[in-house]
Each structure stands twice: as structure tokens, then as C-alpha cells.
Structure 1
Amino acid sequence: MHVRPAPLFAMAALALSSLLLVGWHRFHLPSTPADPVQQLGHKLVKRVDLSFIDQADGGVLVTRVSDGAQIAHIAVGEGGFIRATLRSLIRDHPITKHHFHLAMTDSGQLLLWDPLSGRVLDLKAYGSSNRQVFLEFLLASESRP
């Protein structure tokens, strides 16, 4: 029995070129998702990184990531929109130590995004009262030392 080497070489070349192409593509992609503010063509006016920490009593503690300062406390039975919004962002990767970016653009957009998944929410889409809740977090983070 005689095996022709040409098809084997072609298969090996195809496999090697596929691996090289995937490696090159992964090497040239940014390791973190792009900044959504830049993608939208806006300038950042204000930004804060916030952590939302579940408490033993069922409340949620909102803290500024940079220094751990408490921004707000959401009591049990309150903040339904906040809880639902955060759960929708982290449903693919529920981890305990995680933070979110909250930013205001020069056009007045208030954006909440998850740096792990790259998912971005324009909070205006959820109505003015729901947007206001997150705006208060942004303003409170500036007023607290």
C-alpha cells in the first residue's frame, strides 16, 4: 500500500495556517473591551468605578472602588431597578469582587458598563426616574471625600 504524501502535507499546512491565523488575531486584539465612550465619539465628563456589595441583611452597599468610600446603601426591598440592572450585566459571570464603570458624557448620556463583558447600558433608555438613581450615585461619589 502506497500513501501519497501530498494530501497529508496539505492537511498539515491547513492546520498550521489556521493556528497561526488565530494566534495572530488574538495577539492583535485589545485584551480588554474598548471604551464605549470613545466608541460613541463622545468625551467623558465624569466617571466613577462602583462596587455593589451584597450585605448579610439583604441590603446592597454601594462603594467607590478607588478608596472604598460608601456612596449609598440600598435597603432590603428597595432599589429594584438597580438590582435588576446589575443582575442583567453579570448574569454571564457572577463573581463577588466586581466593579462597574458609571460615566457621564459631554452629550449628557449616562452610561453603565461592565468592564468584564464589555456590555454597556445607556440609562436614558430606562426612563428619567431610573436614570436619576444612577446619576445620584455619580454625584454622591464626587461629594464624598
Structure 2
Amino acid sequence: MSTALTSKLPALPLAALGALVLVSVLGVGAVRIAGLSAQQQPDASTLATRQLRFEDGADGSIAVRDAGNGALLTTIAPGTNGFLRSAMRGLVRERKRQGLGPERPFELLGRADGRLTLVDPGTGRRIDLEAFGPSNAVVFARLLPATSPGADHVAQR
């Protein structure tokens, strides 16, 4: 820079702005590393739980089974239910990345406040399904036990 321009720029305000940017970046980084979020809500009590297994069919369908008794809950036809497919694909990919197989079932939790959470106990990953809208959450709400108040509550939201 030329000496004329350097003499016109005030050093103190520029240093203060630089310090502000540095503190902001460090603060955001610390919050991200700590896993904190202003939007996290405490989990409401669980009203309904179902352990699920998802089995790929040769024709591209997905059989959804109750892991407790092996009962077929539903079959997802090929090319349908894109949200369910993408949610499960992400969870299964994480299992493979960690060297885990399909032995442990996934857990679907229906909460007292109507929220649904899909949990992979093997990896610790969880998907708060209400974040994707009520029409997507209903796809999973149908998999809860029919007699559970959580299934009714989520379906009505």
C-alpha cells in the first residue's frame, strides 16, 4: 500500500473489527464442537416405542418388521416413500461406515408432545422426524403400535 493510503486508515478501528471477527469465528467453532444448539429441545417422555427392522427386497421393496416378534408391519413398494428410504439409507450408511451390521434394530419413539424420533442404538444417531414436516412424520407414525397414544397424537398433528 502507498504511504498516503496507510496514513488515512485508522489502525485502532481496523484492529477492533479484526478482533470481533476472530472472536465470532472462535465462538461459533466452540459451540459447534461442543454440540450445543439454541434450538435443541429437551425430549418429552416416550409414550410408544417400537423396534424395527428394514429388509430390502429383490424387487426394490422394503419390508418393515417388528423386531420383537418378526411380524411384517408394512411393505414399501419400489419407488415410493422417498423420505423413509432416504432416512434409512443415511442410518444404514453410518452403520456400514462404523463396521456395524443389521443385528441391532432401529428404535422408533413416539413422544408425549407428538414428536417422533428414529434412533439407531448401534451408532447413537437419531433423527427427529418432526423436523421434516408432518406428512413425512406420519409415514413413521404408522409404524408405531396401533394402540399407543403416541401414534394417534402424531397422526393428528
TM range (shorter): 0.5 to 0.7
With over 3 angstroms needed to count, the CA separation of the structure-2 counterparts of 1:99 and 1:113, relative to structure 1, is same
Equivalent-residue separation in structure 1 for 2:46 and 2:146 (angstroms): 18
With over 3 angstroms needed to count, the CA separation of the structure-2 counterparts of 1:41 and 1:75, relative to structure 1, is closer
Q: TM-score, normalised by structure 1?
A: 0.65
How far apart are 1:105 and its partner, in Å?
Answer: 1.2
Equivalent-residue separation in structure 2 for 1:141 and 1:76 (angstroms): 28
Opposite residue 88 of structure 1, the aligned amino acid is G
User: Equivalent residue for 1:112?
Assistant: 118
Q: Do the aligned partners of 1:44 and 1:103 also contact (CA within 8 Å) in 2?
A: yes
With over 3 angstroms needed to count, the CA separation of the structure-2 counterparts of 1:76 and 1:98, relative to structure 1, is farther
Q: Do the aligned partners of 1:48 and 1:141 also contact (CA within 8 Å) in 2?
A: no
SS at match of 1:73: strand
User: Equivalent residue for 2:22?
Assistant: none
1:1-145 alignment to 2 at 5 Å?
40-94=42-96, 95-140=101-146
**Percent of matched pairs sharing the same residue:** 37
Q: Structure 2: which 5+ runs fail to align?
A: 1-40, 149-157
Q: Do the aligned partners of 1:71 and 1:140 also contact (CA within 8 Å) in 2?
A: no
Opposite residue 60 of structure 1, the aligned amino acid is I
SS at match of 1:92: helix
Q: Do the aligned partners of 2:47 and 2:111 also contact (CA within 8 Å) in 1?
A: yes
Q: Do the aligned partners of 2:129 and 2:136 also contact (CA within 8 Å) in 1?
A: yes
Opposite residue 131 of structure 2, the aligned amino acid is A
Q: Do the aligned partners of 1:112 and 1:120 also contact (CA within 8 Å) in 2?
A: yes
Opposite residue 103 of structure 1, the aligned amino acid is L
> Number of matched residues?
104
How far apart are 1:98 and its partner, in Å?
Answer: 4.2
With over 3 angstroms needed to count, the CA separation of the structure-2 counterparts of 1:106 and 1:83, relative to structure 1, is same
Equivalent-residue separation in structure 1 for 2:92 and 2:76 (angstroms): 18
Q: Do the aligned partners of 2:106 and 2:118 also contact (CA within 8 Å) in 1?
A: yes
Root-mean-square deviation (CA, aligned residues, Å) is: 1.9
Q: Do the aligned partners of 1:71 and 1:141 also contact (CA within 8 Å) in 2?
A: no
With over 3 angstroms needed to count, the CA separation of the structure-2 counterparts of 1:96 and 1:83, relative to structure 1, is same
